[in-house]
Structure 1
Amino acid sequence: MLPALTYLQFHLVFSVPAVALLWFLAPRYDDAVRRRRSAIAIAVLVAIAYAYTTPWISYMIRRGAWWYADGAVLVRALSIPLGEYLFFAIQTVVTAFALHVIGFDPTYRDGDFARAPRVAGVVVGVAMLVGGLWLVALDPSFLYLGGLIAWVGPVVALQWAVGGGYLARTPRTWLAATLLPASYFWVVDRIAIGMGTWSISSELTTGVAVFGLPIEEILFFTAAGLMAVNGLVLFEWVLDWNDQRAATLSESASSRPPKRDSETVDD
């Protein structure tokens, strides 16, 4: 067994190089508006990641779904190690850079507000929330899996309620941008578990694993990446929709004949 890394050492070895490589490969947009919007989208998604993930991760750690090796953690807040907080931002940034390396078109098109995919996405998201909570109540071994599904469900419902039509016509983009970074995190997560940097509870998980990596961890990195990717693409897509709507309103206003002043009638 390789010697265990501290959480910060793990980031230096695995996370920082991934961020640096993808930052180097990411396109530098000539369009200043696109460049600014991309940067704002990443910043907003990082903030949302902290706000939405912190309570859930804190709860899971306090319940004992996973824990860290002695000496692997230097600082904690709300039971969460500093390294875990750093990971919220790192995974979001890595996923964002991967998305831009792959490339995506945030242009709004007619049909992107189609009702069917939006309703379907909401139904799936609500079903995930209800089903995940049911699993948590069913048996302790479903705590991590059920809690994860319930945590993701509301985000799925919200994102598809907003841009279900757009997401339905661009699956290759967001699937690729989700799975490529997730695959990297699967590998390094398995290495960290093998080193003993952190451990996953056998009592609070299903015990199903792929090459030694618990299925819950596989689904976590996939789900977190998916939420980040869809949030990023929808952020720019909504702005493009607003641009087109504003341009249409402006053209409509400019095409109207000027109003005539009412004629005065001399007595």
Structure 2
Amino acid sequence: MTYLQFLAIFLLPPLIGVLAVTRYTLRQPDRPRRPYDVGLRILALLLLVAWVWTTPWDSWIIRVGVWTYPEGGVVATLARVPLEEYLFMAGQTCLAGLWTLWQTSRVDALEPAVSNGTLRRIAGAVAWSVAAMVGAFVAVTNSHGLYLGSMLMWFGPLLAVQCAVGADLLRMRRAVRLRTLVPVVAYLWVADRIAIAAGTWHISADYTSGISILGLPLEEALFFAVTSLLIVNSLVLATHPALPARLRTFVPKKIVRQ
């Protein structure tokens, strides 16, 4: 199975599904406005961020040999990354993003007041920062930890920033996040497992822990969980009604007065 065939079989159908749900929801006269009015703009930005942030890391792990694809299995490459991989980045972002917005639009607007949550925000930011540093150390010192370590090093700082901004807001909407993450990540795990078995791509045993879940390498499972979590967190934060006031606390008072 080529990478393009994989996209057509496993990514295109759920994308059509979430697009249909989005179109139906947007046509409802009584739909909540904020999740989509704000969220769709943020989702467009996330598409760009996914390409800009992920491509250097993706290119590097391909160069090292962490994951490879068979000759003739992709249409073309850009910076070593298959063009299909760029489509997959965009597809995963839209799939997780649109599903998040639909789940968020069903949340009761009359939520409990947001507590300060400073300690939770600090703890979350520190935890992911430490994970990124540990990941960097593991990637440098242990070849079998290269995939996992570099992943934590590359994506951990983004999760740390999200926690610093709104770990308490994310906890408040943990039910929405779970309802979004569980089906999306589980589906991507199944699709990835089938792709590996079909030879669409290969994960090197030299740079992974050797731990697998029903044949799916642990690192692959964590990759889809972490990247989907970044998408979901971004949109949950962006559409939360408490975020504008929260962001104003990060802006110096002199700038606000001007």
Percent of pairs with identical residues: 33
Q: Are 1:13 and 2:9 counterparts?
A: yes
Native 8 Å contact 2:173 2:236 kept in 1: no
Give the equivalent residue in structure 2 for 1:242. Answer: 244
The whole-number CA distance in structure 2 between the counterparts of 1:112 and 1:184 is 35
Q: Are 1:96 and 2:97 counterparts?
A: yes
The whole-number CA distance in structure 2 between the counterparts of 1:178 and 1:33 is 21
Gaps of 5+ in 2: 249-258
Q: Deviations over 1:111-137 (max 9, x none)?
A: 354201110111111111111011112
Q: Are 1:24 and 2:40 counterparts?
A: no
Q: Deviations over 1:82-107 (max 9, x none)?
A: 01011111001000122234335496
Matches within 5 A, 1:63-142: 63-103=64-104, 105=107, 110-142=113-145
RMSD over aligned CA atoms reads 2.2
Give the equivalent residue in structure 2 for 1:48. Answer: 49
Among 222, 226, 251, the residue aligned to 1:219:
222
Gaps of 5+ in 1: 247-267
Native 8 Å contact 1:22 1:97 kept in 2: yes
Shift in Å at residue 60 of structure 1? Answer: 0.8
Among 223, 233, 237, the residue aligned to 2:236:
233
Native 8 Å contact 1:112 1:164 kept in 2: no
Q: Pick closer, same or farther for the CA change 1:113–1:138 going to 2, 3 Å.
A: same
Shift in Å at residue 47 of structure 1? Answer: 1.2
Native 8 Å contact 2:50 2:90 kept in 1: yes
Give the structure-2-normalised TM-score.
0.86
Moved more, 206-215 or 32-41: 32-41
Shift in Å at residue 21 of structure 1? Answer: 1.1
The whole-number CA distance in structure 2 between the counterparts of 1:112 and 1:23 is 35
Give the equivalent residue in structure 1 for 2:252. Answer: none
Native 8 Å contact 2:143 2:206 kept in 1: yes
The whole-number CA distance in structure 2 between the counterparts of 1:113 and 1:73 is 49
Shift in Å at residue 175 of structure 1? Answer: 2.5
Give the equivalent residue in structure 1 for 2:60. Answer: 59
The whole-number CA distance in structure 2 between the counterparts of 1:129 and 1:244 is 25
Give the structure-1-normalised TM-score.
0.83
The whole-number CA distance in structure 2 between the counterparts of 1:14 and 1:156 is 27
